[in-house]
Amino acid sequence: MKEAYSLLVDNIKFSQSSDKAGLYNFNPTETLFKRPTLIREHPIVFVAGDLNSKIMEEKVFVSADESAGMTEKKARVSKIWKVAIGGGTFQDDLQQFDELHIYQENSSAFLDFVEPKISFGPTAHFKAKSNVLNPKLVPCWRHRIVHSSMDRRAVSNLNYAIGRLTTSTSRPISSCYLINTTTPNVRGSQRRRSNASRRSSVESTLTN
């Protein structure tokens, strides 16, 4: 994940010449209005897809009661399964052991990105063409949608949900946002549009 993040934000570039309509380059003489070339230079960025984020089993804490009659490894996997089938919540029981969350905490990846609260079950691994989790694999929330905004007030999440498609061993997820956009004026400052609030839906449809 760390390597993919670095490739995404540091190496992928957008050509200035691609803005043929001149919608972003409002004033060519002002550098303020030049189209950003790097991902991190854009005012709002969404990343959606398979981040391959897994629960780091070795970090999962289990109490003496939770591990009674089991090896510590089995107790950790059991705790993950318990949450996966509705015996707990991702936020309360597993988030601190989630790879994406850990990388954000130690500034390894997606430090400036925000993810809505997860209130749905795992996105992988299911038996093919069914709603049954594969008992031979550890469930995980590998498919995610995160965003980064220069103005934290500009983006509000309205919904974050898992899809019902069963064509794959993974599940698609979607997220709906309310975005307040700004546009530059001729004096180089920012003015807010009267109809600035726009609803945007971000979807991640994933197949294996």
H or E, element range at 77: helix 72-84
pLDDT attached to residue 195: 43
Which of the 8 DSSP states describes residue 195? E
pLDDT attached to residue 16: 57
pLDDT attached to residue 28: 45
pLDDT attached to residue 133: 96
Determine the Cα–Cα distance for residues 101 and 111; give it in Å rounded to an integer: 9
From 173, 196, 123, 112, select the one nearest 147 (Cα to Cα): 112
pLDDT attached to residue 111: 87
Determine the Cα–Cα distance for residues 88 and 32; give it in Å rounded to an integer: 48
Q: Which two tokens stand for residue 46?
A: 């969404």
Burial (CB count <10 Å: 0-12, 13-18, 19+), residue 87 = exposed
Is residue 172 within 8 A of residue 143, CB to CB? The reply is yes
Consecutive 10-residue runs of the chain (208 residues): their mean pLDDT? 74 59 47 67 89 93 93 95 94 94 92 94 94 95 94 92 92 93 49 53 58
